[in-house]
Amino acid sequence: MRIVYHLGVHCTDEDRLIRTLVRNREVLGRLGIVVPQPARYRTLLRDTLIALRGQPASEETQALTLDQIMEEDRAERLILSNDDFLAYPQWVLRGALYPTAGERLRAVTQLWPDIPAEFHLAIRNPATFLPALFARQRGKSYDEFMSGCRPEGLRWSDMIARICDQNPGVPLTVWCDEDTPLLWPEILRSVAGHPAALRLEGELDHIATLLAPEGYERMRAYLADHEPLTDDQRRRVFSAFLDKFARPDQIEMELDLPGWTEDLLTALTEAYDADVARIGALPGVRLLLP
């Protein structure tokens, strides 16, 4: 068995991925891919992690937790998803992005220390990630939220390097949240591990939210007439329909944080693009790109 951890991050997936896989749990289950409802494990794992304090779980604890999570007797892949595996939202910024992510994930893998693990996560341009994360805070000023961090100094590659350093040998797959509409079927397949020929219910749901109704129906008809398509061909179709039928209200985002200027937004985006290239070169990391 292999345990697959989908890690978010916050303000990217909003549980869309796990909801889609749960919708397909019957067909995936026939392939040995087990997708339990998050309610079966999120509180359980939180409480177990607190009790273990980073130490490996006993064989009895491992068996008990698996028994509570899984209805099935066996699995080839067990998929668990929780944005809070990396940190709770109020602790995301403490001098860096998710500064304790490496050690927290090390503790998570100690729940079942002898079962191979995989990590999967999205990253997001700090120019939009920080405003979205700040909007989730309650009772915090902007300065309290930033906790001494400078936006232009934040790097996802630093977080990912910490994860890799403290979890050697655990494969890590990363994609950019901005690319998710184009990569959605590939992201689902990366996490679930199902064959490329298997089309999941909900593969078009993500891009559907970005397209005008007419564009979405025309795209569905086009795909139906041209299946099977390769991943590259499907991405080109998605991109073409987004170019022509994208809904402006879903593409544009208003950014308004104290002291933020257009020059800062440009600088953050340029630094993010360079950081993505840096991530793609990190050993043990697979970067999904359109």
Please tell me whether residue 32 adopts helix, strand or coil conformation: coil
Interior angle at CA 276, CA 145 and CA 97, nearest 5: 20
Give the burial string for 21-43 (b: 16+ CB within 10 Å, else e).
bbebbeebeeeebbbbeeeebee
pLDDT given at position 256: 75
**Cα-to-chain-centroid distance, residue 33:** 18
The runs of H, that is alpha helices, within 70-169 are: 101-109, 126-135, 142-146, 156-166
Interior angle at CA 33, CA 3 and CA 284, nearest 5: 40
CB atoms within 10 A of CB 14: 10
pLDDT given at position 148: 87
Q: In terms of Cα–Cα distance, which of 278, 288, 272, 282 is closest to 124?
A: 272
Question: What's the topology of domain 2-198+259-288?
Answer: Rossmann fold (3.40.50)
Q: Are 182 and 238 in contact (CB under 8 A)?
A: yes
| Per-residue pLDDT reduced to its tens digit, 52-70 | 999 999 999 999 999 999 9
**Quick one: DSSP state of residue 290?**
-
pTM, to two decimals: 0.95
197: Cα within 13 Å, side-chain hemisphere: 0
Reading the block at residue 79, the tokens are 């998929």
Average pLDDT for consecutive 10-residue bins of the chain (290 residues)? 97 96 98 98 98 97 97 95 96 95 98 98 97 91 92 97 97 97 97 96 94 96 93 96 87 74 95 98 96
Residue with tokens 């944005």: 83
pLDDT given at position 251: 55
Interior angle at CA 195, CA 190 and CA 201, nearest 5: 80
